[in-house]
Structure 1
């Protein structure tokens, strides 16, 4: 018969049953070598008799979780986050660490906030790795303290004892616009990612690339979002306005999928590009031209940087690493 939360034995119950203090029970759970065999046996007997099961959070409150690393995942709707997370998991586990995943709640596209990092720090993990856009309006120093952290795919600047691994969006959108202009397109509209630091970076990169080709007079941005639905609705908005751009340069691949679907339904032939080159982009029916962010390199580099930070936890080491992207040309932009 399963125990209800209210009937489950607590650490206080174990201490009372064994005739010892709660702190001694905590010590047996966290570092039994520091307790005499007689007293340890008494506590362990009580744990077995009562069926007490310490959870991870409780144990972390009394000991440093030296062999665990926390990974915060934002934008779970976007496959790139999961692709990077899988590489990170492989790398960190190969280095001998347990990996604790936490899913972040992102509001209004502003990115991952401090609450998720605080939750993992409360578990006293050795380091924290954040995959997804982090709120660039927030300083995480007070939350992190001396806990090393790496931000992956974020538009923020690195701080003391942190590193940032991101894609060179200026180069990436430069490749997109170069390709589209080379195909003879002039009226190139950007379907934006909405709010958030990465969306702002990519929109800025689009503006600079258009300016470099002396196409500033043709700059057009449609506010959308990072989802398939946002891309779909953006095309309906464009078509309703009567505009007929030569090409649509999308914030990411998911947005581009929605754009392609809406164009297909409307019977309109327009060049489309995405960003991130997630695995679905290579499917024959989609065949999306996209900027490859090299998730393998991103995952390996972020794990390596976090391990470096953890070896120097009291230092002022910080690092900003840019991944050089490449353009994968497929039929969507032909």
Structure 2
């Protein structure tokens, strides 16, 4: 249920980051009388772009407005023979209506350059969702992307970025950089990047105005989670997060603000935790074995939520009957049959596509003040939060370990 509101061997190993060129007969041959709905979708997309101050649509916007995949939209724009003329016409009309930069469109065999995607880690499955969207959007301009982990693993650099790798990428002549989430030691990173364009994806508000940023609207995201849980009757709601990165602190602040909005500020407890499963499990144990146990917990991301689920299992607490759990990111971890975790969907396709377009525009010479777009997420409700709090008379007594 959904409610609206190269350089590394790891980089090229995932098959879900490639563009699927399989045939899509329904999308390629729309002769079912749905043109009226397509026009309505197109108008709605154009209005959303205008409301958010965006002058150009992405390939993803063009595709979504017509109910087709980005791959089919790109093949139509390139005039592929297997795409019927009617679809080619509709895609071109949609591209013009949404001001998609057709002048940047390349032929399939045209290779213009490489973009480096800088990440802290390859362990977060959210990154693969973003990289796939980035690669599809870049492919329209004949570019490709390599994913580069930047965190140093040597003891003398516990939280430093691998600026040597970034400087090597500059020397190799990459077109520019996309940064997923905040990197460690950003001043050194910016120095290493030199004059190459940089766009941040899913980063904190701290970088707004320094370079182009495409962020998740965490105020909306945390608000959706709290609204959902309060609607089920939960009042004792906690949050695991707030440490390890500025984004974590911003999400914790957004959680507190959402609780205040419901008049539950005094019940808003934040248990310190970062974005890792181990810390999520430790923080979860602290919450669940204390004298005052919450009935629902939101987490900084889906990985943290998995750690909390482990802590609940060890404590003998059933989910969702005794504890509602929610994550953030809507990754494969959340949607797996084992966890079935409610999560905020950050609209990764939109984040990746828009960031890629921003970078291409900078590479092409756009010289304007740094732009910032906060993409509105949605909530996907799953089993982990499908129940409200138990009545007091049926709750088991917990043993305090304080």
TM-score normalised to structure 1 length: 0.73
Cα gap change, 1:118 to 1:208, in 2 (>3 Å): farther
How many angstroms apart in 1 are the aligned matches of 2:127 and 2:133?
10
Write the deviation string for residues 249-281 of structure 1: whole angstroms up to 9, x where unpaired. Answer: 111111111111221232212011110100231
Distance 1:98 1:325, change over 3 A: closer
Q: Residue 152 of structure 1 corresponds to which residue in structure 2?
A: 201
Q: Deviations over 1:90-139 (max 9, x none)?
A: 32234212433311116899786755543422322111111232348637
Matching residue of 1:322: 374
Pick one of 290, 296, 302 that aligns with 1:241.
290
What's the counterpart of residue 67 of structure 1? 113
Alignment of 1:1-334 (within 5 A): 67-105=113-151, 116-135=165-184, 138=187, 141-155=190-204, 156-159=206-209, 162-268=211-317, 269-312=322-365, 315-334=367-386
DSSP-derived class of the 2:339 partner: coil
Cα distance, 1:139–1:106 mapped onto 2, change above 3 Å: closer
1:93–1:99 CA contact under 8 A, matched in 2: no
Per-residue deviation, 1:158 = 3.5
SS of residue in 1 equivalent to 2:273: coil
Specify the SS of the correspondent of 2:187: coil
| TM-superposed deviation, 1:285 | 2.6
Q: For the residues of structure 2 that align with 1:330 and 1:109, how far apart are their CA atoms?
A: 37
User: In terms of mean alpha carbon deviation, does 118-127 or 103-112 score higher?
Assistant: 103-112
Q: Contact 1:110/1:134 (CA < 8 Å) preserved in 2? A: no
Deviation at 1:141, TM superposition (A): 4.9
Aligned to 1:84, what secondary structure does the other structure show? helix
| Aligned-partner Cα distance in 1 for 2:273–2:234 | 22
Counterpart Cα distance in 1 of 2:143 and 2:237: 47
User: How far apart are residue 142 of structure 1 and its match?
Assistant: 3.9
Contact 2:114–2:174 under 8 Å retained in 1: yes
Q: Deviations over 1:235-262 (max 9, x none)?
A: 2222332331111111111111111122
Q: Any conservation in 1 of the 2:115–2:146 contact (CA below 8 Å)?
A: yes
TM-score with structure 2 setting the length: 0.61
Question: Could you say if the C-alpha distance between residues 106 and 223 of structure 1 is closer, same or farther in structure 2, counting changes exceeding 3 Å?
Answer: farther
Aligned-pair distance for 1:290? Answer: 0.6
**What residue ranges of structure 2 are gaps of 5+ in the alignment?**
1-110, 387-402
Distance 1:317 1:200 in 2: 27
Shift of 1:75: 2.8
User: Which digits, 9 at most, give the CA deviation of each residue in 1:173-225, with x for residues without a partner?
Assistant: 01111111111111111111522111011011011111111111112111122
SS at match of 1:125: coil
Contact 1:72 1:101 in 2 (8 A): yes
Q: SS of the residue aligned with 1:178?
A: helix
In the alignment, which residue of structure 2 is the partner of 1:14?
none
Asked whether the equivalents of residues 157 and 320 of structure 1 are also in contact (C-alpha less than 8 Å), the reply is: no
* Change beyond 3 A, Cα 1:316–1:202: same
Q: 2 CA distance for matches of 1:106 and 1:252?
A: 23
Larger Rg: 1
| RMSD over equivalenced CA pairs, Å | 2.5
